[in-house]
Amino acid sequence: MVAITTHQPYLLSIDVSSATFIGTRIGNKNRGQRDADTGFLGIAQERASEQRHDRIASAAALTYGYAMHAAEDIRCQICDSRDCPPLIEHETERGQWHYRRCAGCGLVFLSPMLDDGELAALYANPDSGGTRAYFRKEASKLRRARGRVRHLAGAMAGGAKGKLFLDIGCSGGFMTQAAMQAGFTAWGIDPDGDAVAHAEQYYPGASYRVGGLTEFADAYVSENQERFDAVYCSEVLEHVADANAFVAAIAKLMATGGVLYLTTPDIGHWRRPRKLADWDVFTPPHHCLFFSLGNLRQLLARHGLEIYHRQWAFKPGLKVLARKVGESI
Ligand SMILES: [Zn+2]
């Protein structure tokens, strides 16, 4: 047991990884060089400090009860571990947000998690999307989309021609457009009706749906025999509250042998700022889940999806290709 010597609420400095490095911290502009210098040693030090932090947080939670979460059944979505001590508390104009880190698999998750009503309210709020700003970079989005579609088409035996493609979180339709140009029959789904209206207007020819993935998956499989050969899901997984329901829906839509191209922030990346709050994708409460390669692999495997390729990423992101090899368990 670690002795708690302060009567201050311990969450005040819960991101101990940053506190540990406070003495050696240097400016952001030198961070890349510093990381390049320290390499794996830096990551090892950070992990050691996080483990230390976990022990301190566990002890503190016992002492103070972490009162507001005491009644909750805290359990990791990925590995079912109940050993998920508090990691960081962060305040935004929307409120106070708490994240935990699973001691078993390293998943970092919002706790308490947003419920369906809170999620709906969050994305119904016009200031939360940034949709218009996103459309302004249309040309570069399309260029990037074509590159990613080439990557996916390359994974298809016989190429894209006549294959079924789905973009989950299709926004303004850039990926569906690129997929159609490559020869795919394209579908896109997004909860943002404005974005889908843009896609339908500027990139017609694909089938678009407004709404959530799990409802779409249920409706689609009951009405259609064909399953998707290629599924693209970029920077969406970190927004969902229930990763298993989400990935189960993806797997259900996919043909056996089909390929999933998935991207999400990588909390285990060597260039991720040591202090979580300094990371540009640490945006509570929109991002509810933070993965690393190990627990993402674990999550997908649970639903019959096997990661067989990881694309190198300079920014702290995971970009993986996974193949459907079995069914959800
Ligand atoms: Zn876990």
pLDDT tens track for 167-178: 999 999 999 999
Q: Are 290 and 110 in contact (CB under 8 A)?
A: no
CA distances from 287 to 12, 43, 111, 298 (A): 21, 23, 12, 20
Residue 168 sits in the same domain as residue 244: yes
pLDDT tens track for 176-227: 999 999 999 999 999 999 999 999 999 999 999 999 999 999 999 999 999 9
Distance (Å) from CA 295 to ligand 1 centroid: 7
Among 91, 122, 153, the domain-final residue is 122
Token pair 């896109």: residue: 188
Distance (Å) from CA 242 to ligand 1 centroid: 13
Residue 67 sits in the same domain as residue 139: no
How many CA atoms are closer than 13 Å to the CA of 90, on its beta-carbon side?
21
Distance (Å) from CA 214 to ligand 1 centroid: 23
- Out of 117-126, 142-151, 294-303, least confident range: 117-126
Distance (Å) from CA 324 to ligand 1 centroid: 23
Buried b (16+ CB within 10 A) or exposed e, 7-36: eeebbebbbbbbebbeeeeeeeeeeeeebe
Residue 294 sits in the same domain as residue 320: yes
Distance (Å) from CA 173 to ligand 1 centroid: 34
Residue 125 pLDDT class (50, 70, 90 cuts): low
Among 106, 122, 138, the domain-final residue is 122
More confident residue, 28 or 172: 172
Residue 157 sits in the same domain as residue 285: yes
- Out of 48-57, 94-103, 137-146, least confident range: 48-57
Distance (Å) from CA 301 to ligand 1 centroid: 14
Amino acid at 79: C
Whether 190 is covered by a domain: the verdict is yes
Residue 209 sits in the same domain as residue 262: yes
Residue 235 sits in the same domain as residue 305: yes
Whether 2 is covered by a domain: the verdict is no
User: How many domains is the chain partitioned into structurally?
Assistant: 2
Amino acid at 74: I
Query: Which residues, in sequence order, are CB contacts of 175 under 8 Å at separation 6+?
Result: 145, 148, 149, 167, 186, 188, 232, 234
Distance (Å) from CA 300 to ligand 1 centroid: 13
Distance (Å) from CA 99 to ligand 1 centroid: 13
Q: How far is 125 from 267, CA to CA, in rounded Å?
A: 27
Distance (Å) from CA 107 to ligand 1 centroid: 5
Distance (Å) from CA 64 to ligand 1 centroid: 23
| Coil, helix or strand at residue 138 | helix
With 0-12 / 13-18 / 19 or more C-beta atoms within 10 angstroms meaning exposed / middle / buried, residue 272 is buried
Residue 139 pLDDT class (50, 70, 90 cuts): confident
Q: What is the pLDDT of residue 329?
A: 63
Residue 313 sits in the same domain as residue 218: yes
Among 54, 88, 122, the domain-final residue is 122
Distance (Å) from CA 303 to ligand 1 centroid: 16
Residue 117 pLDDT class (50, 70, 90 cuts): confident
Buried b (16+ CB within 10 A) or exposed e, 94-124: eeebbbbbbbbbbbbbbbebbeeeebeeeee
Would you state the structure tokens that stand for residue 130, as one six-digit string? Answer: 């940034």
Distance (Å) from CA 269 to ligand 1 centroid: 18
Domain of 23? 10-122
Q: φ and ψ at 91, to 5 degrees?
A: -105, 135
Residue 278 sits in the same domain as residue 243: yes
Residue 90 sits in the same domain as residue 172: no
Distance (Å) from CA 172 to ligand 1 centroid: 34
Q: φ and ψ at 185, to 5 degrees?
A: -90, 120
> Is residue 13's pLDDT more than 80?
no
Q: What is the pLDDT of residue 126?
A: 52
Whether 87 is covered by a domain: the verdict is yes
Q: How far is 152 from 159, CA to CA, in rounded Å?
A: 9
Residue 41 sits in the same domain as residue 179: no
Residue 195 sits in the same domain as residue 112: no
Whether 216 is covered by a domain: the verdict is yes
Distance (Å) from CA 310 to ligand 1 centroid: 21
Here the CATH number for the domain that contains residue 285 is 3.40.50.150
Residue 188 sits in the same domain as residue 304: yes
Distance (Å) from CA 81 to ligand 1 centroid: 5
